[in-house]
Amino acid sequence: MSTSAISSFEESLSTRGLPLTRTAAADAADELTALVEPPAIGTQLPYSGVSLPENVITELSPSVLESATVGITPAALAIADYGSVVIPDDGSGSEHVSLFADEHVAVVAASDVVASMSEAIGELGEQVRDGLTSAIVATGPSATADMGELVMGAHGPKVVEVVLVTDR
Amino acid sequence: MSGRQQKAERIRELMATQGEAVEENTREFNDGRYESTGDLSEYEALRDEARAIQEDAIERIPELVDQVTEAVEANGGTVYVADDAADANEYVRNIVADADADSVVKSKSMTSEELEVNEALAADGVDVWETDLGEFVLQVADEAPSHLVAPAIHKSTEDIAALFDGHFDPEEPLETAEDLTTFARDHLGEKIREADIGMTGANFVTADTGSIALVTSEGNARKCLAATDTHVAVAGVEKLLPRFEDLQPFVELIGRSGTGQDITSYVSLFTPPVDVPTLDHEADELGSADDREFHLILVDNGRMEMREDDQLRETLYCIRCSACANSCANFQHVGGHAFGGETYTGGIATGWEAGVHGQESAAEFNDLCTGCSRCVDACPVKIDIPWINTVVRDRINRDADQELSWLVEGLTPDEEPGGVDLQKRLFGNFETLAKFGSATAPVSNWLADWGPNRWLMARIVGIDRRRDLPEFQRETLVEWFAARDDRGPSDPGREVVLYPDLYTNHVQVERGKAAVRVLEALDVGVRVPAVRSSGRAPLSQGMIETATDHAEDVATQLGRHVDEGRDVVVVEPSDLAMFRREYERLVDEDAYDTLADDSYEILEYVYGLLEADPSRSDRFRNADGERLAYHSHCQQRTLGLEPYTTEVLGELGFDLVTSEVECCGMAGSFGYKAEYYELSMDVGATLRDQFEDEPRVVASGTSCMEQLDDLLDVPNRHPIEEVADRLE
């Protein structure tokens, strides 16, 4: 973790107008509860002492995915220069959860914030060689300009929020 | 209707129906590119890195194909190398048949457009749905993409609303872009749910890990892949990168170069078959990721031959970002339906079309590249796109049978075979015309303007009758210089050769005289020897052999002066660009280096003289805030030379306004050609709007000056003439 990478990540998010919530691990569940409007779905967060709020559905099915308004997933990395998060799926279903709901909440540990794309690709290269098969560098909501103007929320989420766990 | 009239008619129609939407969108992309690449401190280093990776990757394609096959198979997928479109399509059809699939959902893929895979599957009764919203619009409209990245860029919200309302007859009419997006998302969401197979392209494929990178914004590629069990990816063999880590410069450059976004919403890095649970809609549960299948189809379809072709090889470095289209003034006004072939659009399309579909497809639009070179600076992998256009133009010339060619064969002094179009031949041999024009002026000018002759010129060589023709001066610059009594400064600090380019020597002679006066006033000894024209005119017509003949002579003649310690000063920016850029390909390395390193644009040279000794400014009367409007020249800008002119004019006290447009639209002979006259004037309209109330106008390029003559009521001059007028 580097303090300058974190402040640069926060600045990039702010430049893009993307909301950020900072929280300590102990308060993460409360922060998430306040943030999400049910029905919410989620995949397990791998940070010690951090769990999903109780009303978040983790038993996934196509109909649950279709009806959810919010999806919560962990992010493997955050890239400070771009305000991006990297969504991995190693069988958890995070790819679906981060894609089907109108709002995606990405939870990232401060120690996983890297400064540059170069560092991120370097790190991902190692993870891919270790067997990670699906990693999305996601920056803001899905968008299209194909209908003559910019519209947020094309096939993917309309809103993206980042929750930064400051002590993990 | 003649071919030229048909072409003019088609361009007129596209400017009227699509021009506005294309111009608005491409200019926004282009402005975004400047801003976004400007924010990237390592931009130039990343371009160099990306270029080096591509050179290496294309060199090693056979090895990388073996490597990726091994990697993908180890991951549990299959790889097929398809020789051509039919081969690739047959393979896809077999996958679809084996899966017993009746529908396929696709994300955007230009390679699949090249293969026409949708048509092949439709013939088998398979439903194919384009899920990229732009591609979906085109599928409904039954049209071809007009842009590499934003395929429906030629359609406005109103156009799409009318299309959807007519086609789908929704309960409530669709009006806003938001309405249309929601409607399409729902409609396609259903198709994705029902589909058995998801098909994508690939922006990059990494050979060591068997990964594919998809650069998207909508999320449809992710959905097509997540929601179906079988993933088919089609990619040209040129998409292979040696290592996963090689992705980095491309990920940073592609969005910035194309649509001007630092990064698109999603850069998906899949190493399929992916470990993402499948969706079992019937049982309403998640299925095992083990059920996923992956097929990578690597397409040759002419690429391996392009790789062997020293001139077309660079095309394979292209990452299809669309910067060459967005930065091109002609593209901005007509879009890819005119500036494109069977599949590909924009400047680089000439290389792609010639390579994958054949030269005839490239011949349709190749002339729309005027060689301005803006795209070279915009290209993230530094492809010399104008050169590819010139080479293909040359090949088209050589392959063509030209009516009436017996008429000019042997009469024209060029090195070209009979196939060269008469119009191209006339402009390519402008030197001969100019010499004759000056020798017989003013009679030549009267005759040229005489009605029946204009009619003949329009009819036989296609010179638009609405254009004023260049007026040849009886006394050339070389003759004036040789005949004058003034011997210049007695003790010159430096010596230069003022290159008598074709236009300065025969047409814009005053700007040449002004250059001599200013240089001499700044203690420079000047010579104006008779030197051949640079070869720019034949090169722009694709007459490379003729251009090479000129270049060799000029490099030898000017090189001799450089060896004797004289700098070369050039008035015409397009000729300086020849010396600094194109000559690298036309003359030997030493001759090129000698001339390129020691030739200067006139105001660049004056700037240097004033910098070296600021007291020299005293030799000019201050303009005291007199208003002056300045339009730089495209190649002058791409060589980074515009600031010298603006600095010098500012230093002399002018209240300077510079043009906001990058191109006047004339581009040498382009704007004279009947089939392109209206496009040329349409491009020029923006410049006219900015400058029409300006009292005094200067421009550096001959073409720009001619175009401004036609656009504006006030006459214009070269900036060096304003500078000369301020001499004490």
Q: Look at B266 and A125 and tell me if their CB atoms are within 8 Å.
A: no
Find the angle CA(A112)-CA(A114)-CA(A115) to the nearest 5 degrees: 160
First CA to last CA distance, chain A: 9
Question: Which residues from B are below 8 Å from A136, CB to CB?
Answer: 222, 266-269
Nearest CB partner across the interface for B219, out of A82, A122, A142: A142
Contact residues on chain B for A131, CB-CB shorter than 8 A = 275
Cβ-Cβ contacts under 8 Å, A154 against chain B: 133, 181, 185, 217-220
State the pLDDT at residue B669. 85
Nearest-by-Cβ selection for B284 from A62, A93, A150: A62
Res B402: pLDDT: 53
Q: At residue B664, what is the residue type?
A: C
Do residue B270 and residue A129 have CB atoms under 8 angstroms apart? Answer: no
User: pLDDT at position B3, please?
Assistant: 81
Rounded Cα distance, A38 and A55, in Å? 7
CA-to-CA dists, residue A63 to A52, A91, B231, angstroms:
21, 19, 22
Outline where B277-322 has alpha helix (H). Answer: 303-308
The predicted pLDDT at position B407 comes to 47
Query: For residue B96, what pLDDT is reported?
Result: 97
How many Å lie between the alpha carbon of B529 and the closest alpha carbon of chain A? 55
The size of the A-B interface in CB pairs under 8 A is 180
What gap in Å lies between CA B239 and CA B228, rounded to an integer? 24
- Residue written as tokens 């993409």? B145
Of A63, A91, A156, the CB nearest to B218: A156
Distance CA A41, CA B215 (A): 26
pLDDT of residue A1: 53
Minimal CA separation from A103 to chain B, in Å: 13
Q: What is the mean pLDDT of residues A115-122?
A: 98
Average pLDDT, chain A: 96
Does B209 contact A143 at a Cβ distance shorter than 8 Å?
A: no
Q: Where are the domains of chain A?
A: 3-165
| Mean pLDDT to the nearest integer, A25-44 | 94
What pLDDT is recorded for position B406?
47
The mean pLDDT value for A45-55 works out to 94
Q: Which parts of chain B register pLDDT below 50?
A: 403-411
Instruction: State the smallest CA–CA distance between residue B244 and chain A in angstroms.
Output: 6
Across the beta sheet with A70-74, what order do the strands follow?
Answer: A20-23, A159-165, A103-109, A70-74, A40-42, A56-57
pLDDT score for B459: 73
Residues 6+ apart with CB under 8 A from A71: A40, A41, A42, A96, A97, A98, A99, A100, A101, A103, A104, A105, A157
Nearest residue of chain A to residue B107 (CA atoms): A155
Q: So what's the pLDDT on residue B520?
A: 96
Domain boundaries, chain B: 3-303, 477-725
Domain A3-165 has CATH 3.30.9.10: no
In the structure, how many helices (H) and strands (E) does chain B have? Answer: 38, 20
A91 to chain B: which residues are within 8 Å by CB?
A: 275-277, 289
Residue of A nearest to B138 (CA): A146
Sign of CA dihedral B134, B135, B140, B146: positive
**A99, A134, A149 ranked by CB distance to B157: nearest:** A149
3.40.50.10420, 2.102.10.10, 1.10.443.10, 3.20.20.70: which CATH number matches B3-303?
3.40.50.10420
- Beta partners for residue A137, in sequence order: A86, B267
Which of B25, B153, B229, B248 is most worth mutating to test chain A (most A CB atoms within 10 A of its CB)?
B248
Give B469's DSSP letter.
P
The C-alpha of B664 sits at a distance from chain A's nearest C-alpha, in angstroms, of 27
Written as one letter, the residue type at B603 is: L
Please judge whether A138 and B265 are an interchain contact, meaning their C-beta atoms are less than 8 angstroms apart.
yes
pLDDT on residue B203:
98
B109–chain A nearest CA distance, Å: 15
Return the structure tokens found at B507: 């047409």
Closest CA of chain B from A168, distance in Å: 25
- Do the beta carbons of residue B616 and residue B522 sit within 8 Å? yes
A148 vs B155: CB contact, 8 Å cut-off? yes
Cα–Cα distance between B497 and B508 in angstroms, integer?
Answer: 18
